[in-house]
Amino acid sequence: MQRHDFENADQLAQALARQVAADLRAALDARGQACVALSGGTTPLRFLQALSQQPLDWSRLQVTLVDERWVPAEHPRSNAGLIRQHLLQGPAAAATLLPLYRPVGQPEDALTAVAASLPPRLDVAVLGMGTDGHTASFFPGGDHLAEALDPASTATLLPMRAEGAGEPRITLTLPVLLTAGHLYLHIEGAQKQAVLAAAATGEGAGADYPIRQVLACLPAPLATFWCA
């Protein structure tokens, strides 16, 4: 891993926002458009707000999600709703949101349609991680975990159900995340730092953390932004 440590969450959020914005500007200069995949939860709120303040041509940016709970955007646990509330405000509202949820019964019913709406590659992806070692919706015990983590999988998206996941979910697969021009991990707190260290070494429970497979498949060290 390539560690970037910060004294507090505000410093981390600002630094990560500046880095992601620089990557997106480079992609815009090279191709005229760019796509970033972001994570939900409570950890990225400061980062999303900081990113929304970055000077970018938001009208040429697409924003999607690393994963999503199978709930509508109005639901308080929706990642798309979180992105709309904390990122797509002010000038950033000009960006195009590519949601993963569709108003159908189960994620399996929407895989083809959602995959067709996504760009062929990501310019930037920002992952989070839980204290159980999950990232994206790669949950321990997930019903499609092995396929989602298979670097040879041809699937763009998969459904995921697991005891720790709450609602059914839909997630980008590991091969899709590996296409990202820039991949970052954003974690906060000593407990998550310890989980990530265990995953990196494979010691004890770390051998089975899903994040370990992500680390193992990356062609370069994972840029990790952390604060206590």
**In the chain, what are the domains?**
2-227 (3.40.50.1360)
Which residues have a Cβ under 8 Å from the Cβ of 43 and sit 6 or more positions away? 128, 186, 187, 188
Q: What band does 208 get if pLDDT is binned at 50, 70 and 90?
A: very high
CB 3: neighbour CB atoms within 10 A?
A: 13
Q: What is the pLDDT of residue 181?
A: 97
- What's the mean pLDDT in 198-213? 97
Residues 91-111: tens digit of each pLDDT: 999 999 999 999 999 999 999
Q: What band does 77 get if pLDDT is binned at 50, 70 and 90?
A: very high
CA atoms within 13 A on the CB side of 8: 3
Residues 28-50: tens digit of each pLDDT: 999 999 999 999 999 999 999 99
Q: Dig out the tokens for 74 from the structure.
A: 């109005």
